[in-house]
């Protein structure tokens, strides 16, 4: 097994055993649920109360630059969008080619199903790209993007970010809660 395959497998295990199963069956109600007033979310264009919004389609993502302190509570919709675009999308475009992804031109999902399709597609592109990296690729800095560390560091960083940003069990338990409430 190559180094790049080990790096891809590290995240793939988490993806298939922990993250992705917990999102199966995510409803639109859960996707957009705002536990407190002032949450950042994905909203129909023109309806955001956030200082700024980004996106090219009918739905936009709430944000501010610089971000406020304390950071607002975010919905599952916002967190998925952040993972799809900021954690994976930018880097997939920079490192592995294909269509560039950025927050201003991305068409954010207006349903949970659409967001999960975007997530699966971007994760698949990331994981496939990592698997193709050579040892030399891993040891050198990426040639595109703002990164200044070796590619292996970037891969480990994204793997870590996806584990951290995808909610500890106490914060996103959609699947577990749904299963616990199911009859039988």
Domain that holds residue 40: 3-181
- Say how many domains are in the chain: 1
The vertex-87 CA angle with 50 and 57, nearest 5°, equals 50
Distance CA 104, CA 17 (A): 32
Give pLDDT tens digits for 142-179.
777 777 889 999 999 999 888 876 654 334 444 444 44
- Are 43 and 62 in contact by the 8 Å Cβ rule? The answer is yes
Residue 107, domain CATH: 1.20.120.450
- Is the overall model pTM greater than 0.85, yes or no? yes
- Summarize the confidence of residues 30-48 as an average pLDDT: 96
């Amino acid at each position: 097994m190559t180094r790049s395959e080990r790096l891809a497998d590290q995240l793939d295990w988490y993806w298939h055993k922990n993250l992705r199963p917990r999102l199966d069956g995510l409803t639109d109600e859960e996707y957009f649920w705002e536990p407190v007033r002032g949450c950042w979310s994905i909203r129909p264009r023109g309806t955001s109360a956030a200082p700024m919004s980004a996106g090219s389609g009918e739905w936009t993502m709430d944000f501010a630059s610089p971000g406020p302190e304390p950071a607002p509570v975010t919905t599952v919709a916002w967190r998925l969008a952040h993972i799809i675009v900021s954690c994976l999308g930018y880097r997939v475009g920079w490192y592995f080619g294909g269509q560039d992804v950025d927050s201003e031109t991305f068409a954010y999902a207006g349903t949970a199903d659409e967001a999960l399709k975007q997530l699966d597609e971007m994760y698949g592109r990331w994981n496939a790209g990592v698997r193709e990296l050579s040892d030399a690729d891993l040891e050198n800095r990426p040639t595109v993007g703002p990164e200044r560390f070796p590619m292996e560091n970037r891969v480990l960083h994204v793997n870590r970010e996806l584990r951290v940003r995808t909610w500890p069990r106490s914060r996103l338990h959609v699947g577990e809660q749904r299963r616990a409430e199911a009859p039988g």
